[in-house]
A and B are shown apart, each in its own frame.
Chain A
Amino acid sequence: MSIKKITRESLGNWVDALIAKQRVFGVKAKGDRFVYDLLGDASELRLDFDVTIMPPKKLLLPQTETLMTFNKQGQYQSVTDAEPFVILGVHPYDMVAINQMDAVFQKDNYDKHYMARRQNATIVAVDIQNPSSNVFAAGMGTATVQDGFDVLLTLIGDSYVIDARTEKGEVLLADIAAAPDASATDLARREQAWQCADSFLKMHSLDCKPEELPALLGASYDSELWAERADKCYSCGSCNLVCPTCYCFDVQDDMNWDLETGKRTRRWDGCMLSNFALVAGNHNFRKNKAERYRHRYYRKGKYLWDRMEQIACVGCGRCISACTTKIANPVEVYNALLEEK
């Protein structure tokens, strides 16, 4: 596999060449914040972003997607998204989240809708150049990443190290085959950038190792902290929506205007919403805010660990920024629980 070094200017040319060939979603500015959106040309790309409003999961598990079409007679036709695309600019913590989501949708029952889109995606990860105000990836071990992506970009000085890790990534690099290979010095500088990220991307400091969280939560189920903090919760679900590891969904049918045909869609849902565990007959299995609030932390810090040995919090800090009442900081929650022990 190739590891090249290219200037910022050549990177722009490379991106424009990619855009000419296929759909490229990249990070763009939106006001003073950043979003993933279809790139028109390389000048729109902002690899210096701190964090995007929504994680790249929206490109793999869209807010709304059609699972199948049907007619009134009850014939269903599965719909999968078959068009290849590139995601340009995925931070390591979001890459870790995508890796988790890949496992979830492959495991037990294969979800071909997610997996088709995932297999059609070529992911260009980028090491973090500017930290966001709430990132705590260093504490979660997600400030750098070594798998899941096809290409990794790392800024060193005025150039990028561009590292293809898969066949798909190698294909992307074909346009810059003439660029020089990254030197040992370049790679050493990249190593330094990684060490720097692993040490300093810590705006909030978790007082334990992430792998200690399952046991901490296991002993904290009856803590009063859940009710105290959830007391301020609006049950708005913002923390769910911006979370790169939240994948719960609802499924709904929509009839078309002809009232003969329609589609079955899946949409994001959130365990913080009051009706999430409601069943027919109006019985709500998680009717209190505190139960829902606790469930979310357990799902992140324990339940997914119990199934896949992964902590489903990658330290992006989006929930901290999104929460109106400032109760969503996982580090505050975990540190407070540690103090109770």
Chain B
Amino acid sequence: MGCNCCATEKPDVYVPQAATIVRTEQMTELERFFEIRLDSGQPLGHGPGQFVEVSLPGVGEAPISVSSSADNNGTFDLVVRNVGRLTGIMHGMADGAKLGIRGPFGTTFPCDEAMKGKDVVFICGGIGLVPVRSAIQHVLNRRADYGDVTILYGTKTPADRLFVDELSAWAARDDVNYMETVDRADAQWQGNVGVITTLIPKVAMDPQNTIVIVCGPPVMYKFVLVELIGQNVPTGNVYVSLERHMKCGVGKCGHCQINGLYTCIDGPVFKYSDVADVQEAI
């Protein structure tokens, strides 16, 4: 086992770096937005679709998707749903509060590879918009590099919609085809009602020339993927971002395994053709 000095000199992959909440605001009843800056002054250095481990001393860590592209001015965005101990405490944190960050971890949406020059369709259900927003921003900041851009967004109710100003901005753009739907409307809702799969046939797709990004709750994938395959989209053109409990983030602790894959290092973004036969994936 070699010499006695190497291990202690290596960086510790489990130790977070200090970061500060630059701005935070409530987005919905359950979701809160955080803009974060690393205290080192360095950018996070992430790609679209990656995640970080947020660390609070005495509380622990939670894997959270990065919601912004790397184009922000040295900060990055997180959107946190209040569903547990750490996320509950985060919801009580104000501008200027400190937290620990590890990462970025995992694979990215292929914005600079497979998607370039192609038509792109983003399909997001609920908080599935959170990681996908990083890719949408990346693409829209380099709009000329892509063909048609379509964004489909579905939520349970109008009150669950995230980033409402950005949704309006996307809808207003001539070079973006934006459609949204809700499962259950309220009295004010004028738009589509129905599950997100009802939007897919409304997209005029050239399947061979289209890359589709899908992210949403576990149940959504089954139906969306059936619809896409029905539209003759090759499975190699579809990318999914999957959720598991990425506890360590470095491919060791075992919690995020999807059969033999580790969501934290092999994912969270997977090409669908790579996981279509992986039984636990979808």
A-to-B contact residues, CB < 8 Å: 67-68, 70-76, 78, 80, 82, 84, 102, 104-105, 107-113, 115-116, 118-121, 166, 168, 221, 247-255, 262, 264, 266, 269, 271, 276-281, 283, 285-286, 291, 295, 298-299, 302-303, 306-307
Contacts and interface: CB of A to CB of B under 8 A. Distances in A.
Contact of B250 (A70, A111, A120, A298): A111
Q: Which of B3, B10, B58, B257 has the most CB of A within 10 A?
A: B58
B1 A121 contact: yes
Interface in B236-270: 243-245, 247-248, 250-255, 257-260, 265
Interface of B: 1-4, 6-8, 10-16, 18, 55-62, 81, 83-84, 87, 98-100, 218, 243-245, 247-248, 250-255, 257-260, 265, 279-280
Secondary structure at the B interface, as helix, strand, loop or mixed, is: loop
A209 to B, nearest CB: 21
B13 A110 contact: yes
A76 B100 contact: yes
B76 to A, nearest CB: 18
Contacts of B6: 115, 119
Contact of A119 (B3, B61, B62, B98): B3
A146 to B, nearest CB: 16
The 5 A-B pairs of least Cβ separation, nearest first, read A248-B254, A303-B260, A109-B250, A116-B7, A78-B12
Given A68-B15, A109-B252, A279-B243, A251 B2 contact: no
A332 B87 CA distance: 45
Nearest to B62: A280
Nearest to A271: B254
Given A108-B265, A115-B7, A253-B60, A278 B245 contact: yes
Contact of B13 (A111, A168, A277, A298): A111
Contacts of B254: 247-249, 269, 271, 276, 299
Secondary structure at the A interface, as helix, strand, loop or mixed, is: mixed
B32 to A, nearest CB: 14
A277 B244 contact: yes
Given A84-B4, A119-B4, A298-B259, A108 B15 contact: no
Contact of A283 (B84, B218, B250): B218
A328 B62 CA distance: 33
Nearest to A307: B260
Nearest to B18: A74
Contacts of A252: 60
B280 A72 contact: no
B14 A67 contact: yes
Given A253-B59, A286-B280, A303-B259, A279 B245 contact: yes
B249 to A, nearest CB: 8
Contacts of B57: 70-74, 76, 253, 262
17 contacts: A68-B14, A70-B58, A109-B13, A109-B251, A111-B252, A118-B1, A120-B4, A248-B255, A251-B61, A251-B247, A264-B14, A277-B244, A277-B245, A280-B81, A281-B83, A299-B257, A306-B260
